[in-house]
C-alpha cells in the first residue's frame, strides 16, 4: 500500500493492538516457521496464529491468511513473513507481519470498509474502533 498519513496511522493502530500476539508468535522457534513454510504446512501456522490470538481477540477476528515467506541465507539473520487478516464490524484489513531477530514490521496491503466514513480520517477511526471491539476484555485480579 502506498504510504500516506492515513496508512501510517493505520499501521500504527494494527501494531499497537498486535503487541501481545507478536510476543506469543515469537515463542515459536524460527526454524519451525521456516520448515512449515518450506513444506507448505500452512495449517500448522494457522494453529499457531489461532493460539497466539485466543487470549487477546475474539475468535476469527484475526486469522492467518494462508500465505507466508522466509528469507534465510548465510549472511543475515532469518526473516519470517506471515500474511494475516483482520475482520470485524465490517472492516477487513489484509497485512503482512514480518518477524525479524530484533524488530517487527507490518506491511498493510489493503483495508476494506463495508460502509465507509465521510473521510479517510473517519475510516481510520473505524479501523481503530473495529480493533478495540475485537479485543477480549482483560481480567484483572481483585485488590
CA-wise closest residue to 82 among 103, 107, 59: 107
pLDDT at 141 (0 to 100): 64
Per domain, the residue ranges of the chain are 5-134
Block means of pLDDT (10 residues each) for the chain, 143 residues, are 82 96 96 97 97 96 96 95 97 97 95 89 95 88 68
**What is the pLDDT at residue 115?**
87
Question: Model pTM?
Answer: 0.90
A 10 A CB-CB count for 137 gives 5
pLDDT of amino acid 113: 94
pLDDT at position 6, please? Answer: 85
Radius of gyration of the chain (CA): 16
37 neighbors 45 (Cβ within 8 angstroms): yes
Angle at which helices 42-53 and 30-38 cross, to 10°: 140
Amino acid at each position: 500500500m502506498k504510504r500516506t498519513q492515513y496508512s501510517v496511522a493505520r499501521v500504527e493502530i494494527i501494531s499497537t493492538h498486535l503487541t501481545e500476539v507478536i510476543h506469543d508468535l515469537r515463542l515459536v522457534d524460527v526454524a519451525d516457521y521456516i520448515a512449515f513454510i518450506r513444506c507448505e504446512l500452512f495449517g500448522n501456522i494457522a494453529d499457531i496464529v489461532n493460539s497466539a490470538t485466543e487470549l487477546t481477540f475474539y475468535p476469527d477476528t484475526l486469522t492467518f491468511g494462508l500465505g507466508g515467506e522466509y528469507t534465510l541465507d548465510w549472511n543475515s539473520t532469518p526473516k519470517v513473513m506471515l500474511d494475516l487478516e483482520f475482520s470485524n464490524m465490517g472492516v477487513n484489513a489484509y497485512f503482512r507481519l514480518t518477524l525479524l531477530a530484533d524488530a517487527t514490521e507490518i506491511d498493510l496491503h489493503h483495508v476494506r470498509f463495508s460502509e465507509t466514513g465521510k473521510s479517510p480520517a473517519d475510516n481510520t477511526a473505524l479501523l481503530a474502533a473495529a480493533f478495540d471491539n475485537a479485543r477480549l476484555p482483560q481480567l484483572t485480579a481483585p485488590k
